[in-house]
Amino acid sequence: MNETIIQIIFGWPFVALSLILSVVGIIFERPALVFLGALLIAPFCYYLNGTPNFSGFALLLPIFQAGSAWAVKEENATWSWILLMPTFAIIMWLILVGLITNP
């Protein structure tokens, strides 16, 4: 049971939920949803920070999402999308690499 909860918190379910909440928060101008998305992706980013390729950079992803929430609060949709893009890019890259290496 504990292993399943850990896999959910540090794995793809919270990542997907984070991205969905962030997009919905930007579209409907709800900064709390975007900030919640930043909180949900933080454990995954902490785990990702342990890899050599993302050391240091992975910890910035939740900060970018929090900045996106701030941009939504300031009613600046352009900056909110721009600040969310690094998270999308890293997650999409990880999915692509996972699909290529594990067909």
If one counts the domains in the chain, the total is 1
- Alpha-carbon gap, residue 66 to 83, rounded angstroms: 9
| CA angle at 94 for the pair 36 and 90, rounded to the nearest 5° | 55
For residue 53, the model assigns a pLDDT of: 86
Mean pLDDT (whole number) for 54-61: 91
The helix/strand/coil state of 66 is: helix
Determine contact, residues 91/62, Cβ cutoff 8 Å. no
Q: What is the pLDDT of residues 12-42, one digit of tens each?
A: 999 999 999 999 999 999 999 999 999 999 9
Residues of the domain holding 72: 2-101
Which of 10, 15, 2 is CA-nearest to residue 91?
A: 15
pLDDT for 42: 95
What pLDDT shows up at residue 76? 95
